[in-house]
């Protein structure tokens, strides 16, 4: 862990990369939530057609 | 369709340029960023961290606007729009906090140091967290929408103070604090024109991305409500 911290502090560009990754994880999480909601809608619509 | 292609191009360009363009002491070419003392390579976070807090403000503002609309017209579609905007605002608020904390570990030495900026965003997270607690506590739709709208309008009053005013008038570690001698107030960036251009492109790109996420979000919420009402 200590070596990782010292590696990152001497190679600051990787910190920026981690930060970009965190932002994309957030966007991905939102997409995941939307997907769940749409699946709910889908299954309800299928139930309606029967 | 065109704005979606534009979004792709902007985000792709910002991601590549924001990470790959070198930081040098005296920029000579258009692709070089100036060195900001005290920030160095860390300064590149500005293309990804600042847009998240920018979107927090935009999303909470949209939530307030649609809350006012709901109170005037009592249309549940406006409530779905306000709710989705608040959700997105919360996501981006958390992202701004987390990305800031990771950066702080290397710029300031620890993940969390109760800097005015960190304290204010923490207060904001609590205030808007309560909005979701309020929503989940009320069963009846109209009542929930009315209560959430009123709360959202009151909560937004604190946003300009917590994001724009308090961290700037107080001394702190965050760039742009009152005693910051390196990068100066946030409005007076020590950036050259190409760094500013990429920064603004990043803000525009993330705003379009937010708009897209918001649109898909509230549409799915409206259809879910419609279906629920049929049964």
B33 sits in which H/E element: strand B33-34
Please report the pLDDT score of residue B185 as a whole number. 44
Q: For residue B186, what pLDDT is reported?
A: 47
A1 in contact with B, Cβ within 8 Å: no
Please choose, from the candidates B44, B56, B77, B36, the residue with its C-alpha nearest in 3D space to the C-alpha of residue B223.
B77
Nearest to B171 by CA among B93, B115, B210: B115
In the predicted model, what is the mean pLDDT of residues A2-17?
A: 83
What would the DSSP string read from start to end of B116-167?
HHHHHHHHHHHHHHHHHHHHHH--SHHHHHHHHHHHHHHHHTHHHIIIIIHH
Tokens of B137: 């506590």
Which chain A residues are closer than 8 Å to B19 by Cβ? 13, 16-17, 20
Average pLDDT, whole number, for chain B?
A: 88
What tokens appear for A45 in the block? Answer: 């619509």
Element spanning B24, H or E: strand B23-24
ipTM summary value: 0.86
CB distance B99–A40 less than 8 Å?
Answer: no
> How far does B220 lie from chain A, in Å, by closest CA?
7
pLDDT value for B91: 96
Distance of CA B47 to the CA centre of its chain: 12
Would you give the end-to-end CA distance of chain A in angstroms? 57
Interface of A with B in 28-47 (CB under 8 A): 29-30, 34, 37-38, 40-41, 44-45
The domain limits of chain A are: 21-50
Answer whether residue A28 shows pLDDT above 90. Answer: yes
The residue among B120, B108, B127, B122 whose CA lies nearest residue B170 is: B120
B77 CB neighbour count, 10 Å cutoff: 17
**pLDDT on residue B1:** 84
CB contacts, 8 Å: A9 with chain B: 106
Distance of CA B13 to the CA centre of its chain: 20
- C-alpha–C-alpha distance, residues B63 and B98, integer Å: 22
The reported pLDDT for the residue numbered B181 is 62
Across the interface, whether the CB atoms of A15 and B102 are under 8 A apart is answered yes
CA distance B17 to B21: 5
Confidence at A50, pLDDT banded by 50, 70, 90: low
pLDDT for residue B187? 43
pLDDT digits 0-9 by tens, B182-194 = 555 444 556 777 8
- A1, A16, B95, B104 from B113: Cα distances, Å: 20, 20, 17, 9
Q: Chain A residues with CB inside 8 Å of B101's CB?
A: none
pLDDT in tens, B149-202: 999 999 999 999 898 888 888 888 888 777 666 555 444 556 777 888 899 999
Q: Are B22 and B11 in contact (CB under 8 A)?
A: no
The stretches in chain B having pLDDT less than 70 are 38, 179-190, 231
Across the strands, what pairs with B24? B34
C-alpha pair distances (Å), B65 with each of B24, B61, B69, B81, B187: 43, 6, 6, 10, 26
- DSSP labels, B174-216: STT-TT--SS-SGGG----HHHHHHHHHHHHHHHHHHHHHHHH
Using a 10 angstrom Cβ sphere, with 0-12 exposed, 13-18 middle and 19 or more buried, the burial of residue B68 is: middle
Closest in B42, B95, B213 to A12, CB measured:
B42
Residues of A in Cβ contact (< 8 Å) with B98 = 22
Give the model's pLDDT for residue A45: 84
* Predicted local confidence at residue B110, as pLDDT: 87
Q: Does A26 touch chain B (CB under 8 A)?
A: yes
B89 touching chain A per CB within 8 A: no
């Amino acid at each position: 862990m200590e070596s990782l911290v010292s590696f990152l502090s001497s190679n600051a560009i990787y910190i920026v990369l981690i930060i970009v990754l965190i932002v994309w994880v957030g966007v991905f999480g939102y997409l995941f939530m939307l997907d769940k909601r749409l699946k709910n809608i889908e299954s309800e619509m299928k139930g309606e057609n029967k | 369709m065109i704005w979606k292609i534009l979004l792709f191009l902007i985000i792709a360009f910002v991601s590549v340029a924001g990470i790959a363009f070198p930081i040098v002491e005296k920029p000579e070419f258009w692709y070089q960023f100036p060195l900001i003392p005290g920030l160095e390579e860390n300064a590149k976070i500005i293309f990804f961290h600042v847009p998240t807090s920018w979107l927090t403000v935009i999303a909470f503002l949209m939530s307030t606007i649609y809350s006012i609309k709901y109170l005037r017209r009592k249309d549940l579609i406006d409530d779905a729009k306000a709710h989705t905007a608040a959700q997105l605002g919360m996501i981006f608020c958390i992202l701004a906090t987390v990305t800031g904390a990771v950066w702080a570990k290397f710029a300031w030495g620890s993940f969390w140091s109760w800097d005015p900026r960190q304290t204010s965003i923490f207060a904001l997270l609590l205030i808007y967290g309560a909005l979701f607690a309020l929503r989940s506590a009320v069963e009846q739709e109209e009542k929930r929408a009315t209560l959430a709208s009123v709360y959202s309008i009151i909560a937004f009053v604190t946003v300009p103070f917590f994001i724009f005013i308090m961290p700037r008038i107080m001394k702190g570690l965050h760039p742009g604090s009152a005693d910051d001698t390196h990068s100066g107030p946030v409005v007076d960036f020590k950036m050259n024109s190409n760094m500013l251009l990429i920064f603004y492109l990043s803000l525009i790109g993330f705003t379009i991305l937010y708009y897209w996420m918001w649109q898909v979000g509230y549409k799915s919420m409206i259809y879910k409500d419609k279906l629920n009402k049929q049964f």
